């Protein structure tokens, strides 16, 4: 199996080491399956998804009973799929037949404690600087029936964050009122507002060069840079405007920064400029 997730294919030869011994330190979920088994094809991907999501809280050991009949005999398997959770070298729970994800999750959390929220796990990719991977995982949650809470709003936001403006707009407009009013929904709205300000940067750059003390010029340039996805540069221009005159036009520099923070969400530059604005406000 070509994956770095905590999933292993187990044979009779590796069973003691990979299942019995390993379960003494890490719980092992044994999936006894067969190639001819229809429910196994439904259950397998669900178990693999949970193994990846919980990221090391348990190991998923997949065992083909036709290739390893001795293991099936040892567990007295009557039908497949049969799933057993081993801890300390012995089974502590399990089930027979394909089960819904919610039921499997309840069994795992009963013995392993609460798992990582799958949406948080997906958004961790964005925090690590990979919004495209975050979008891929969030989209899976958004397409579930029912969708994972807030996954659809985050999908709209992430589409806009990576520059897929039209798709992001369509996703945002399809959100419910409650989703649009959520944090990621408001962020998506903010990104749409930013991207609506796309314009030719050359004259704005020239205006700042000619009048570096102009708050209005820096605000215009900052917003245009943000519209192009040049977030750190855009925030710097808005911050410079705030440094020049924080109260300009009814505190427009502060408002522009706060709106940008809400729109950009997990962008690493937001943390830095939040801190800078806090110092300035003090």
Give CA–CA dist 264/267, Å, rounded. Answer: 6
What crossing angle do the helices spanning 165-173 and 183-195 adopt, rounded to 10°? 140
| Helix spans in 84-230 (H) | 101-112, 118-127, 131-142, 151-161, 165-173, 177-180, 183-195, 201-210, 215-227
CB burial class (10 A; 0-12, 13-18, 19+) of residue 5? middle
7, 8, 30, 37: which is the annotated catalytic residue?
A: 37
Closest to 188 in 3D by CA, of 208, 204, 174, 209: 174
Closest to 218 in 3D by CA, of 260, 256, 175, 181: 256
β-bridge pairing 28-33 and 59-64:
parallel
Does the active-site annotation cover 282?
Answer: no
40, 141, 257, 270: which is the annotated catalytic residue?
A: 40
DSSP structural state of residue 22? G
First-to-last C-alpha distance (Å) of the chain? 56
Residues in the chain, overall count: 282
Radius of gyration of the chain (CA): 26
Residues serving a catalytic function are 37, 40
């Amino acid at each position: 199996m070509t994956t770095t997730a905590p999933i292993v294919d187990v044979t009779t030869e590796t069973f003691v080491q990979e299942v019995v011994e390993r379960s003494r330190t890490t719980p092992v979920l044994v999936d006894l399956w067969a190639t001819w088994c229809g429910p196994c094809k439904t259950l397998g991907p669900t178990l693999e998804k949970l193994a990846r999501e919980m990221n090391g809280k348990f190991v998923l050991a997949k065992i083909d009973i036709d290739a390893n009949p001795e293991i099936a005999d040892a567990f007295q398997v009557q039908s497949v799929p049969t799933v057993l959770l081993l801890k300390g070298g012995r089974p502590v729970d399990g089930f027979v037949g394909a089960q819904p994800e919610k039921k499997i999750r309840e069994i795992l959390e009963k013995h392993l404690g609460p798992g990582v929220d799958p949406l948080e796990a997906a958004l961790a990719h964005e925090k690590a600087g990979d919004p495209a991977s975050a979008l891929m995982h969030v989209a899976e949650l958004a397409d579930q029936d029912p969708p994972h809470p807030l996954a659809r709003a985050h999908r709209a936001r992430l589409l806009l964050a990576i520059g897929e403006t039209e798709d992001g707009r369509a996703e945002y407009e399809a959100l419910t009122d409650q989703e649009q009013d959520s944090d990621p929904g408001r962020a998506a709205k903010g990104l749409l507002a930013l991207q609506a300000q796309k314009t030719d940067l050359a004259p704005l750059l020239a205006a700042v060069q000619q009048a570096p003390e102009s708050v209005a010029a820096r605000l215009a340039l900052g917003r245009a840079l943000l519209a192009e996805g040049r977030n750190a540069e855009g925030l710097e221009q808005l911050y410079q405007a705030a440094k020049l005159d924080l109260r300009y036009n009814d505190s427009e520099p502060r408002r522009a920064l706060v709106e940008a923070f809400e729109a950009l969400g997990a962008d690493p530059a937001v943390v830095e400029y939040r801190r800078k604005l806090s110092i300035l406000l003090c």
